[in-house]
């Protein structure tokens, strides 16, 4: 009872502090400390790396003297995925709308030829700007030709596909993509995706959280809902013609195509379009061939309107790889950030203003969503390197680096705010002044 009373007293004390942290001295037997006027001490903010580095380590719902142990059965597997939610560092304060969704919790729509599982605003209410779909096609399978209100950006995980689309001028686009490549379909473009001999898996990103993979406009289904006489009249056939009598009665959605698959060249030659092919713009970006921007601790490459000449491009994506222990530095964006974790485990503390901050752990196949202007970092805390895609609803990538703010602002101003010495200012100047995006694990 005494411990709980002290704990709640400490929490109450945080409301009187402008920085939203619990001010505790290094713990001594029987003494919770005062330390008023300083940020929370190291011991209470230390991150427990053994959670990630030791498979036998079991997270507990306490951090030093804060919290208490379980009295009911714990879910160890979930706790290991979210140890900083189970035992938050004391820098966490206030409330932030949940920014994390496990794609493994998404309902998986299975089809003869593949599957699709999605994350929409119904799953992650904070993610109003972007939704995502993980889709797998078996060899020769199609995602039925379709169109939708939202724009679609895609990243190839594995295999190869042939894509085709029609623009509003009636011109055709065709492309063949492999692992690491990207396509973009603007709103309302009818398009199809066909996996080649090895099948394919890819991530789809849409420019609205309201998108629903199960509510697209499907080409074959569309004709099945039109009177036969109208179909025949539309295509210049006799009123009682039977040419379209075999239209599928149900959605194809994902389905197997006939084998063998015609080559890309054969399929392109079969197009007889008087309006021709798209020539001045493209819907394909060979990201797999793009050089990385290398940093000590990782690498970055960015696809936006500066290098991807796609019509109406409104989704920008950064592909980021972090070495174990490296940090995507403290920053914010003018638009929300939608992250998809490809590999590794990332930790992020999100500061949402007015004292509100929370720390989260993101694992492979997780989706993270960070609202516009929220300060955050992404730290690779797994032994394996981390890789993720950061998507933004904008045509041009932008970020604001906190380190650059510190070194590009008058020294007197910064020292009055952060209370750092000239020696500290000089020491950090070189490392962050050039808008460093990634820093290595340099804390010993």
Determine the pLDDT at residue 437. Answer: 92
Distance between CA atoms of residues 210 and 187, nearest Å? 14
| Residue 118 CB coordination number (10 Å) | 22
Binding residues for Mn(2+): 146, 148, 152, 191, 331, 333, 337, 376
List pLDDT tens digits, range 389-398: 999 999 999 9
| Rg, Å, the chain Cα set | 26
Q: Is 191 a catalytic residue?
A: yes
Q: Which of 106, 136, 148 is nearest to 124 (CA)?
A: 106
Determine the pLDDT at residue 45. Answer: 66
Q: Under DSSP, is residue 194 helix (H, G, I), strand (E, B) or coil?
A: strand
pLDDT in tens, the chain (444 residues): 333 343 333 333 333 333 333 334 444 433 333 334 444 445 566 666 767 777 777 888 888 778 899 888 889 889 989 989 998 888 899 999 999 999 999 999 999 999 999 999 999 999 999 999 999 999 999 999 999 999 999 999 999 999 999 999 999 999 999 999 999 999 999 999 999 999 999 999 999 999 999 999 999 999 999 999 999 999 999 999 999 999 998 899 999 999 999 999 999 999 999 999 999 999 999 999 999 999 999 999 999 999 999 999 999 999 999 999 999 999 999 999 999 999 999 999 999 999 999 999 999 999 999 999 999 999 999 999 999 999 999 999 999 999 999 989 999 999 999 988 999 988 888 777 788 899 998 754
Whether residue 48 is preceded by a cis peptide bond, meaning omega within 30 degrees of 0, is no
| First vs last C-alpha separation in the chain | 39
> At 426, phi and psi to the nearest 5?
-65, -35
Q: Is 28 a catalytic residue?
A: no
8 Å CB contact between 322 and 438 = yes
CATH code, residues 291-400:
2.60.120.10
Determine the pLDDT at residue 113. Answer: 97
Q: Which of 134, 155, 81, 141 is nearest to 112 (CA)?
A: 141
Q: Which of 80, 100, 117, 143 is catalytic?
A: 143
Q: Which of 100, 117, 138, 213 is catalytic?
A: 213
8 Å CB contact between 35 and 45 = no
The two most distant CA atoms of the chain are separated, in Å, by 94
CA angle (129 as vertex; 210, 120 as ends), nearest 5:
40
Q: Is 334 a catalytic residue?
A: no
Determine the pLDDT at residue 55. Answer: 76
Q: Which of 191, 328, 347, 358 is catalytic?
A: 191
Residue partners of 204: CB distance under 8 A and separation at least 6: 132, 133, 134, 135, 152, 153, 154, 213
Q: Which of 100, 117, 146, 328 is catalytic?
A: 146
**Fold match flag (102-285 vs 291-400):** yes
Q: Which of 380, 241, 392, 367 is nearest to 313 (CA)?
A: 392
CATH code, residues 102-285:
2.60.120.10
Domain residue limits, the chain: 48-86, 102-285, 291-400, 401-443
Binding residues: 146, 148, 152, 191, 331, 333, 337, 376
Determine the pLDDT at residue 444. Answer: 47
List pLDDT tens digits, range 67-124: 899 888 889 889 989 989 998 888 899 999 999 999 999 999 999 999 999 999 999 9
For residue 436, what are the CA distances in angstroms to 69, 298, 339, 414, 429? 41, 11, 20, 19, 11
- How many residues can be counted in the chain? 444
Q: Is 148 a catalytic residue?
A: yes
The crossing angle, in degrees rounded to 10, of helices 411-418 and 422-432 is 110
For residue 4, what are the CA distances in angstroms to 8, 15, 61, 235, 403? 6, 18, 14, 77, 39
pTM for the structure as a whole: 0.89
- Alpha-carbon dihedral sign for residues 136, 140, 145, 147: positive
List pLDDT tens digits, range 314-323: 999 999 999 9
8 Å CB contact between 205 and 315 = yes
Distance between CA atoms of residues 322 and 326, nearest Å? 6
Q: Which of 63, 80, 117, 152 is catalytic?
A: 152
Determine the pLDDT at residue 401. Answer: 95
């Amino acid at each position: 009872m005494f411990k709980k009373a002290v704990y709640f007293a400490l929490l109450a004390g945080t409301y009187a502090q402008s920085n939203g942290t619990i001010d505790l001295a290094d713990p001594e037997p029987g003494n919770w400390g005062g330390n008023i006027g300083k940020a929370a001490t190291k011991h209470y903010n230390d991150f427990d790396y053994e959670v990630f580095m030791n498979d036998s380590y079991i997270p507990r719902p306490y951090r030093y003297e804060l919290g208490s142990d379980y009295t009911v059965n714990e879910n160890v597997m979930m706790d290991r995925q979210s140890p900083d939610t189970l035992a938050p560092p004391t820098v966490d304060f206030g409330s932030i709308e949940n920014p994390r969704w496990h794609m493994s919790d998404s309902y998986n729509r299975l089809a003869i030829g593949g599957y699709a599982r999605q994350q929409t605003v119904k799953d992650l209410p904070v993610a109003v700007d972007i939704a995502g779909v993980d889709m797998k096609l078996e060899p020769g399978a199609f995602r039925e030709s379709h169109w939708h209100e939202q724009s679609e950006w895609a990243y190839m995980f594995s295999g190869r596909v042939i894509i085709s689309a029609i623009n509003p001028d009636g011109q055709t686009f065709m492309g063949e993509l492999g692992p690491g490549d990207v396509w973009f379909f603007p709103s309302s473009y009818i398009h199809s995706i066909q996996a080649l001999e090895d099948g394919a898996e890819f991530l789809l990103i849409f420019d609205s959280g309201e998108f629903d993979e199960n509510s697209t406009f499907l080409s074959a289904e569309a004709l099945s809902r039109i009177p036969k006489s109208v179909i025949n009249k539309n295509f210049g056939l006799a009123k009682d013609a039977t040419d379209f009598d075999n239209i599928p009665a149900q959605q194809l959605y994902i389905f197997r195509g006939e084998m063998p698959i015609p080559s890309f060249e054969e399929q392109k030659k079969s197009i007889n379009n008087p309006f021709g092919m798209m020539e001045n713009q493209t819907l394909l970006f060979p990201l797999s061939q793009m050089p990385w921007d290398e940093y000590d601790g990782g690498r970055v490459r960015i696809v936006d309107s500066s290098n991807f000449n796609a019509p109406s491009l409104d989704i920008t994506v950064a592909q980021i790889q972090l070495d174990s222990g490296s940090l995507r530095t403290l920053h914010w964006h003018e638009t929300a950030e939608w992250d998809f974790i490809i590999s590794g485990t990332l930790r992020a503390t999100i500061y949402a203003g007015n004292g509100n901050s929370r720390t989260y752990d993101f694992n492979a196949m997780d989706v993270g969503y960070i609202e516009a202007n929220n300060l955050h970092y992404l730290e690779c805390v797994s032994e394996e390197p981390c890789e993720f895609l950061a998507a933004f609803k904008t045509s041009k990538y932008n970020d604001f680096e906190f380190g650059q703010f510190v070194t590009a602002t008058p020294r007197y101003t910064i020292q009055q705010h952060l209370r750092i010495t000239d020696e500290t200012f000089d020491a950090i100047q070189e490392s962050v002044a050039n808008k460093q995006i990634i820093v290595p694990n340099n804390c010993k």
